[in-house]
Amino acid sequence: MTPQITFYASQVIGCRINNQNGARISSVTDIIVNATQTGIVFNEAPRPQIVGLKTKINGNVRILDYRYIKIENKKNIISFSCEQIKDLSKQEIENGLPLAKNILDRQIVDINGRKLVRVNDIRLVAIASGTFVIAVDIGTEGLLRRLGVAAIVNKTLHVFRLALPTQFILWDDVEAFDTTNFNIKLSHTSSKLQRLHPSDLADIIEEMGAHSRTKVFESLDEEKAADVLEEMEPYAQAQLIESMSIGKAADLLEKMPADEVADLLDELEDDKVELLLNEMEKESSEDVRELLEYEDQEVGSIMTTDFLSFRKTMTIEETLNELRIQKPEADTIYSLFITDEDEKLIATVSLRNLVVSEPSMTLGEIMNPHLISVFDEDKINTLAEIISKYDLLAIPVTDPGNTLLGMVVIDDIVEDLMYKGKTKKGGRSWR
C-alpha cells in the first residue's frame, strides 16, 4: 500500500530528482498541475493533480511527465525518483498551471471568507491515485516555511507552549487568481464567484490590480456583472468601462438603473459618454441624458427613474399580478405611486397595505393621499431630515407641475451622506 505523503510546494522547489539508481538528474524548478480539473477528484471534490515537474537538464528546460516519477519522503526530506526521463505532452503543458510561478505570492479570492488574500505556500498530498493540491497556506507559518525558519520558530515557541497559527484555505474555496503578470484561463471562475453577494465581490475586485480586475469581471455573466458594477467605487467603475468595447459596455449599462449609470458616466470623458449613450437603446439613453442635466446638488441627480405607478381604479389582485410580471427590484417597491391619466402624482400605497388588503379592493380604497414629496430641482441637503422625520424608505420626486419623475430611496441618501458628503442636515421641503 502506497503511504500518504503530505508536503508543501516550498519543500519541493529546489529538491532533487534522482534516477532509479539514486544518482541526481536535476532539481525541481516548478510543479505543473492540470488546471482544467476535469474528471480529477480527491476526497469527493475536484482537485488539481500534478502532471509534471519543471526542471533543467544539460542547460535545457524540460517538463518531465509525472507518471514516470515517484515521490519519496525520507526523514522529512522530499525527493523524486524518475523511472524514465520522458517529457510531458504539448497538450498537457498547455492545459497545465505552474504552481510556483502562478500561485505562490499571488493574490487569490477566498470564496468562503469573501476576501482577497496572498498565498504563502501550497499544501499537497500524494496518495496511490496521484498527487493533488488540497489547500493554500495564507498564514505566518507558510511564510516562515518559505524562508526555511518555520521549524526553528516552532521549536522555540514550543518551549513556551505556543505554536505558530495556521491559516489554510481549501482549494474548493480558492478562486480568481491574480493574473496581472501571467496569462491563464480562470477555471470555473463564474460558478464560484456567482455565489458571492455583489457587494462582497465588488470589494474584492476593487482590491485587484487593473488587469486582474478586468479579467475577473469579464468572467461574470452579464446580470451579475451589472449588479457588481453598481456596487463598485467610481474609479473602479470607470476603469472597467474603459477596458470594454463600446458595444459591450453599453449592453451592461442598459441593465443598470439610470441614476447609477448617470453617476458612472460623470467619471468619463465627454466623448466617451456620448459614444456610450448613442450605443445604448433609445429609451435607456434618454433616461440617463435627463439625469445628466441635473446639477450635482439637485435631487434629480440622485433620483431613480425606475419606479412603479398605478391607477387608483386597479384592484389589489390586479396590482399583485402586475408586480409578479414586472419582478421589480426590492427598493422600487418601498412605495407604490398612484397617478392620474396625466401622470400627476395623487397618492402612495405602502407594500404592507397592499399585501394585507382584500384582493377585490381597489388601490383608491387603501391609498394615502397625504403626499410627502420633493421637486427634482430641490437641494439634496433637504432630503435627510424629511426621510428621518417621516420614517420614509423612499420619497417621490416630481416637477413643479406635480408630474411624477422618479423617486429617491434611502440607500442613495445614506450613500450620499457617507461617500459624497453632499447631504447635510438642514431645512426641509415637502408638500
Domain boundary among 137, 172, 207: 172
**pLDDT of 418:** 58
Confidence class for position 422, pLDDT limits 50, 70, 90: very low
Question: Do the domain assignments include residue 338?
Answer: yes
pLDDT in the model for residue 36:
64
- Same structural domain for residues 142 and 220? no
* Residue 32 confidence class, pLDDT cut points 50, 70, 90: very high
What does the pLDDT average to over 238-245? 93
Residue where a domain terminates, one of 293, 321, 348: 293
Work out the mean pLDDT of the chain and round it to a whole number.
85
Whether 299 is covered by a domain: the verdict is: no
Whether 374 maps to a domain, the answer reads yes
Average pLDDT score over residue span 54-74:
93
Based on the fold, state whether residues 345 and 250 are members of the same structural domain: no
Share of the chain above pLDDT 90, in %: 50
Question: Are residues 168 and 41 part of one domain?
Answer: yes
Q: From the CB of residue 298, how many other CB atoms can be counted at a distance below 10 Å? A: 16
Residue 34: all three cell numbers together: 492540470
Distance CA 81, CA 18 (A): 5
Give the residue-averaged pLDDT of 90-112: 86
Average pLDDT score over residue span 169-176: 76
Q: Is the pTM of this model over 0.95?
A: no
User: Residue 25 pLDDT more than 80?
Assistant: yes
- pLDDT mean over 40-49: 63
Mean pLDDT of 221-234: 90
pLDDT at 391: 84
Q: Kindly state whether residues 154 and 226 are assigned to the same domain.
A: no
186 lies in a domain?
no
Give 191 or 163, the one with higher predicted confidence: 163
Give dist(CA 422, CA 255) in Å, integer.
27
Range of the domain at 43: 5-172
Does residue 182 or residue 390 have the better pLDDT?
390
How is residue 185 written as a grid cell?
484561463
Task: Round to whole Å and give the CA distance between 347 and 309.
Answer: 10
Total tally of structural domains belonging to the chain:
3
Residues 254 and 164 grouped into a single domain: no
Residue 304 lies in a domain: no
| Residue 363 banded pLDDT, cuts 50, 70, 90 | very high
Domain boundary (263, 293, 323) is at: 293
Residue 370 in domain: yes
Q: Which of 28-32, 45-49, 85-89 has the lowest mean pLDDT?
A: 45-49
218 shares its domain with 354: no
Q: Are 43 and 143 in the same domain?
A: yes
The three-state secondary structure class of 82 is strand
DSSP 386: H
CATH number of the domain within which 289 lies = 1.25.60.10
**181-195, 294-308, 364-378: least confidently modelled range:** 181-195
Q: The domain spanning residue 398 has which CATH number?
A: 3.10.580.10
Helix (H) or strand (E) holding 134: strand 130-137
H-state helical runs in 281-362: 282-292, 316-326, 351-356
pLDDT band per the 50, 70, 90 thresholds, residue 273: very high
293, 397 Cβ separation under 8 angstroms? no
Of residues 152 and 190, more confidently modeled: 152
Q: Is 28 part of any domain?
A: yes
pLDDT band for 171, please (50, 70, 90 cuts).
Answer: confident
Q: How far apart are CA 33 and CA 55, in angstroms?
A: 14
Coil, helix or strand at residue 11: helix
For the chain, the straight-line distance linking the first and the last C-alpha, in angstroms and rounded, comes to 83
What per-residue confidence (pLDDT) applies to 181?
40
Same domain, 138 and 254: no
130: helix, strand or coil: strand
128 and 206 inside one domain: no
Instruction: Using the predicted structure, report yes or no on whether residue 63 has a pLDDT greater than 90.
Output: yes
* Residue among 406, 232, 235, 424 nearest 309 (CA): 406
Residue 385 pLDDT level (bands cut at 50, 70, 90)? confident
The CA distance from 330 to 306, in Å, is 11
Q: What is the pLDDT of residues 177-203, one digit of tens each?
A: 544 444 333 344 445 677 788 998 899
* CA neighbor of 191 nearest in space, from 48, 94, 46, 44: 46
Question: Does residue 27 sit in the same domain as residue 159?
Answer: yes
Has residue 13 been placed in a domain?
yes
Same domain for 155 and 283, yes or no, is: no
Is the domain of 15 the same as that of 119?
A: yes
